[in-house]
């Protein structure tokens, strides 16, 4: 048995979804149905980008007794921030909501997933970083993405960084999967153009890593191939933010999440994790920065990625590792090679022979 055989065994998809312009209007019906089953209150986790957006908040239509919590996106989720949200809800005796709703990008949706797990499982978030450590079913939860690419609305993980240990790893569990997803492309209109590209590329990178790895299956391959085709249609020509393309990218994000739920990422994501943990870059832009270093591993996809960036006139940060100290490079190396499963998927069980410290440092120097 290899290390990859200890991870993904069975793939669970989202229970149900609705898609299309204006589909956020379905939320009230879904919540009314949940309220009728028991506890009547709902907890919303909303990206703080929308804190003063009365139009969006009005569409959520929180009822009396509901709790609306805004999630800062300055930092990506940490086990500490998740524990703080759980403590807040426990202090208000809001431990048995009929539903949790995550509204926003990957940070807000992952936060909602993690809290839904911890309200029904004892202990702290740090104790559930890993594979299938969550034993009790989570609170029923609904995702409403307002940006496309991370696949957080579809995946079985919610990624968190432990500030004490430096470990960036998710709660990988079937209980983490959303029960319902509302895919409304109207909600992505306000996304800043560069962020739209960075996040959209997360779906593309998920799938090129999956298709290039050793842990594959026909269903995951089909999800990945369709995601890549949609990304080519969105980013390869014309305006990536046209209405039709926003709808396509929302589908690509969902399918990309389904794809990676059956497999593993590859080399880009561990390098990206190093940039996030050590240097504070958000995940999606860190992925794009890491693409500067992977031509020898993904040559065709490397070229295609940079064609996308040129076509859409997107600047990817460069020179981010220039002049770093030896201590910083040590930290980047350690934060990268800790991700055994994706690196084994990409390079085999002997990945450490390929990714020597000197090799990893040279990759970061290309960024």
- Rounded CA-CA distance 118/116 in Å is 6
CA atoms within 13 A on the CB side of 159: 24
How far apart are the C-alpha atoms of 367 and 359, rounded to whole Å? Answer: 13
Q: In what order do the strands lie in the sheet with 42-47?
A: 16-19, 180-183, 141-145, 99-104, 42-47, 67-71
Contact criterion met (CB below 8 Å) for 37 and 96: no
Residue 52 has a CB neighbour count (10 Å cut-off) of: 8
What is the Cα–Cα distance from 310 to 212, expressed in whole angstroms? 24
pTM of the predicted protein model:
0.92
Distance (Å, whole) CA 288 – CA 309: 10
Q: How far apart are the first and last CA of the chain?
A: 36
Chain center to CA of 194:
17
Dihedral angle at the C-alpha atoms of 51, 54, 56, 61, nearest 10 degrees? 100
Contact 260, 221 (CB under 8 A): no
Catalogue all structural domains in the chain, each as residue range(s) with its CATH number. Answer: 3-188 (3.40.50.1970), 193-365 (1.20.1090.10)
Backbone dihedral angles phi then psi of residue 100, each to the nearest 5 degrees:
-115, 135
Residue 161's φ and ψ, nearest 5 degrees, are: -105, 135
The three-class DSSP label of residue 181 is strand
Which parts of the chain sit beneath pLDDT 70? 1, 3-10
Interatomic CA distance for residues 66 and 68, integer angstroms:
7
At 9 the pLDDT is: 62
């Amino acid at each position: 048995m290899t290390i990859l055989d200890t991870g993904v065994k069975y793939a669970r998809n989202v229970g149900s979804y609705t898609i299309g312009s204006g589909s956020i209007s379905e939320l009230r019906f879904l919540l009314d149905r949940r309220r009728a089953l028991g506890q009547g209150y709902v907890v919303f986790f909303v990206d703080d980008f929308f804190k003063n957006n009365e139009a969006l908040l009005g569409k959520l239509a929180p009822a009396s007794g509901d709790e609306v919590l805004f999630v800062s996106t300055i930092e990506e989720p940490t086990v500490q921030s998740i524990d703080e949200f759980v403590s807040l809800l426990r202090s208000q005796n809001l431990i048995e909501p009929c539903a949790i709703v995550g509204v926003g990008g990957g940070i807000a949706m992952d936060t909602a997933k993690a809290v839904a797990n911890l309200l029904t499982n004892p202990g702290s978030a740090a104790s559930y970083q890993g594979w299938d450590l969550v034993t009790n079913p989570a609170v029923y939860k609904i995702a409403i993405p307002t940006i496309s690419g991370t696949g957080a609305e579809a995946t079985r993980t919610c990624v968190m960084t432990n500030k004490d240990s430096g470990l960036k790893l998710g709660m990988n569990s079937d209980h983490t999967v959303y029960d319902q997803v509302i895919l409304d492309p109207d909600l992505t209109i306000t996304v800043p153009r560069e962020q739209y590209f960075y996040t959209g590329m997360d779906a593309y990178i998920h799938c090129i890593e999956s298709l290039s790895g050793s842990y594959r299956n026909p269903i995951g391959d089909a999800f990945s191939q369709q995601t890549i085709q949609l990304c080519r249609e969105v980013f390869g020509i014309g305006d990536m933010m046209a209405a039709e393309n926003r709808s396509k990218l929302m589908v690509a994000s969902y399918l990309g999440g389904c794809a990676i739920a059956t497999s593993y990422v590859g080399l880009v994501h561990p390098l990206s994790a190093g940039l996030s943990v050590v240097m504070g870059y958000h995940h999606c832009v860190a992925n794009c920065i890491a693409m500067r270093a992977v031509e020898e591993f993904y040559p065709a996809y490397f070229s295609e990625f940079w064609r996308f960036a040129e076509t859409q006139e997107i600047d990817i940060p460069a020179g981010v590792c220039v002049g770093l100290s030896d201590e910083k490079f040590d930290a980047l190396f350690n934060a990268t090679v800790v991700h055994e499963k994706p690196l084994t998927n990409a390079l085999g069980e002997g990945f450490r022979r390929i990714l020597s410290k000197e090799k990893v440092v040279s990759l970061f120097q290309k960024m």
